[in-house]
Chains A and B, each alone.
Chain A
Amino acid sequence: MIEALNEALQFTFMRNALMAGVLVSIACGVIGAFVVVNRIVFISGGIAHAAYGGIGLGYFFKFNPVLGAVIFSVASALGMGTVYRKTRQRADTIIGVMWAIGMAIGITLVDLTEGYKADLMSFLFGSILAVPSGDLWIMLVLDLVVIGLVALLYKELLAISFDETFASVENVPVDAIYLILLCLIAFTVVMLMRVVGLIMVIALLTIPAAISGQFVKDMKKMMVLASILGVLFTTSGLWLSYFLNLTSGATIILASGVAYLFSLALQSMVRRARPESAN
């Protein structure tokens, strides 16, 4: 077993994949915690899928599809965020529509593009085993941007997440902070896209944070634990994928999903053993 692991680590692609898993898990843990406590999983899903429009744009106009994805996901984050803030009642419908339109634009543009479209599937289903060294640097920079902004705006981000009304009364620029959070989600989504693909981004963004939220009751601890869990899931998923020759994105999500179900069961057992004292 150890020999097989050592052998696998001889490959650059395997080392890059593990490194990519660690890097995305950090952003994922930090931003995922905000996604979970703010209950904006749906918007995050919308941002992820609308990003596909940007990939199509990149193919069609012959520039890096990742850049297109960044542009589209940030634009859709700002659009969906504004809709969510301004029209409370039908926000989910409008976000759902934007989500679908983003994808449709991507599919159409890819159709219209002539020639070879090899790694298209990798954007949908992820290809952590094909992350080039250059992308690791991009991921590192995005990590630093995410951590830096969250550290600088932590007290405001915490305030709008916990009690937006009170934050407004305290003259916190609530709308601006909210849109910044959505842009950070957009960056994280694009990073995750390389690892698990657009379709499964939401799982890796929310599962580690949701599990840690069950066991720690402090936002910072939740972020750290979620990042550690993310590393655990991507690494174990990666090994499963390597040894069983399965799609890496899917094995990572399955590892996370199984852990989530376990944690739910564990929590209900703990609850039963120790009845709730607070009313």
Chain B
Amino acid sequence: MQHAEMTDTPREVISVTHLWAGYDSEPVLEDINLSVRELDFVGLIGPNGGGKTTLLKVLLGLLRPTRGNVRIMGKSTKEGRRDIGYVPQSVELDRDFPISVWDVVRMGRLGKRGLLQRYTIEDERVVAEALRDVEMLGLRNRPIGELSGGQRQRVYIARALATEPRILLLDEPMASVDPQVSGSLYELLSCLNDHVTILMVSHDVSAISSYVKTVGCINRRLFYHGDKQITPDMLEAAYQCPIDLLAHGVPHRVFPEHSAEEVRP
């Protein structure tokens, strides 16, 4: 691992080649090729139903691809996902669940402690550090249901960090938070990006901020060249209309301008 840092091109942490995947033989993803280098911060945007979550599921080994190859840190997904910290869409989780912030974040240690093993002092230390990283240590005893959307998102990021990941995968991280809050979440992610690779997906073009290093569009196919900018070509290819697939009713014609502005560092 140390060798990779010395060479000029960072090493590849996610490698997807000619991937096809879907449900009941209906392809949702077609011929996806994606190579993510260490310490990149990738933002993928695409319309709802465009296969963003499906791609994450394949990367996490939760959905078997119909064709193609996926390697995480050079290993199979079942092995490689030990290095992934996953932050799901927070709307999918039960807010009323009787659980404290601390207990949620401690679930990040499940992969390190097998069946019948107890959590150790080491686990407590890692959990505390993860909570400190996201500035939520003070609220560690709060029930998860009493937090705001942004705070909850921080907790799920802390849970992912508690797995001591090399890669963070985030599914719509800004979906349930205010614009001001998403700004501070991006600052947090950008800090974390100093030592972990980040891949996030979103349906909302305006959610992709200047902190993102490379961007791509996904709608069944992936349009990603490892660049910083979304080109009108990519958008057009990904969002082949109809217009109501677009995020938040942003009119189609202002779309490329808007996104180019957002993406500029």
Q: Which of A156-189 contact B (CB under 8 A)?
A: 156, 158-159, 161-163, 165-173
Q: Which residue of A lies closest to B116 (CB)?
A: A152
Contact B98 A172 (CB under 8 A): no
Chain A residue with Cβ nearest B159: A166
Q: A169 CA to B109 CA in the complex, in Å?
A: 11
Contact A217-B143, Cβ < 8 Å, known A162-B99, A170-B111, A170-B163: yes
**Contact assessment for B93 and A163 in the assembled complex, using a CB-CB cutoff below 8 Å:** yes
Asked if B191 lies at the interface with its beta carbon under 8 angstroms from chain A, I say: no
Is A85 engaged at the interface, CB distance under 8 Å to the other chain?
Answer: no
Given contact pairs A152-B116, A153-B115, A218-B143, A37 touches B149 in the complex (Cβ within 8 A)? no
A158 and B103 within 8 A (CB): yes
A278, B146: Cβ atoms closer than 8 Å: yes
Cβ of B44: which chain A residues have Cβ within 8 Å of it? none
Q: Which B32-75 residues sit within 8 Å CB-CB of chain A?
A: 60-62
**Which residues does chain B contribute within 8 Å of A213, judged by CB atoms?**
96, 98
Q: Check if A172 sits within 8 Å of B110, measured CB to CB.
A: yes
* A245 interface residue (CB < 8 Å to B): no
Q: A217–B99 contact, CB under 8 A? A: yes
B107 touches A165 (CB 8 A): no
Q: Are B107's CB and A166's CB within 8 A?
A: yes
Distance in Å: Cβ of B52 to nearest Cβ of chain A: 15
| B98 x A156 contact (CB < 8 A) | no
User: Given that A153-B115, A172-B110, A279-B148 are known contacts, is A162 also in contact with B93, CB under 8 Å in the complex?
Assistant: yes
Residues of B within 8 A of A171 (CB): 78, 81-82, 110-111
**Residue of chain B at shortest CB distance from A218:** B98
B147 contacts which of A156, A216, A278 (Cβ < 8 Å)? A278
| Interface of chain B residues 130 through 149 with chain A (CB within 8 A) | 143, 145-149
The one of B107, B116, B148 in contact with A167, judged by C-beta atoms closer than 8 angstroms, is B107
Nearest CB of chain A from residue B229's CB, rounded to whole Å: 32
A270: shortest Cβ distance to chain B, in Å? 14
How far apart sit A173 and B149, CA to CA, in the bound complex (Å)?
Answer: 30
CB closest chain-A residue, reference B81 = A169
Bound form: Cα–Cα A222–B61 in Å? 34
A219: Cβ under 8 A from any B Cβ: yes
Known A-B contacts A166-B107, A217-B145, A278-B145; the reply to A222 vs B119 at CB < 8 A is: no
The answer to whether A278 touches B100, judged by C-beta atoms less than 8 angstroms apart, is no
A170 near B98 with CB under 8 A, answer: no
Closest to B88 in A: A165
List A53-79 residues whose CB lies under 8 Å from chain B. none
CA distance A267 to B231 in the complex (A): 54
Cβ distance A60 to chain B, nearest Cβ, rounded Å = 39
Instruction: State in angstroms the CA–CA spacing of A165 and B115 once bound together.
Output: 17
Whether B147 contacts A218 by the Cβ 8 Å rule is no
A162, B104: Cβ atoms closer than 8 Å: yes
Minimum distance in angstroms from B57 CB to a CB of chain A: 8
Residues of A within 8 A of B195 (CB): none
Can you list 26 A-B pairs, Cβ within 8 angstroms, ordered by A? A37-B94, A37-B97, A161-B97, A162-B97, A162-B104, A162-B107, A163-B93, A165-B62, A165-B92, A168-B60, A168-B62, A169-B60, A169-B61, A169-B62, A170-B108, A170-B110, A171-B82, A213-B96, A217-B98, A217-B99, A217-B100, A218-B100, A218-B103, A219-B103, A222-B98, A278-B147
B contact set with A: CB distance below 8 Å:
60-62, 78, 81-82, 84, 86, 88, 92-94, 96-100, 103-104, 106-108, 110-111, 113, 115-116, 119, 143, 145-149, 159, 163
Among all A-B residue pairs, the 5 with the closest Cβ atoms: A217-B143, A170-B111, A170-B110, A217-B98, A222-B98
Known A169-B61, A169-B111, A279-B148; 18 more pairs at CB < 8 Å: A33-B98, A153-B115, A155-B106, A155-B107, A162-B93, A162-B97, A162-B107, A163-B93, A166-B86, A169-B84, A171-B110, A171-B111, A213-B98, A217-B98, A217-B145, A218-B98, A218-B100, A219-B99
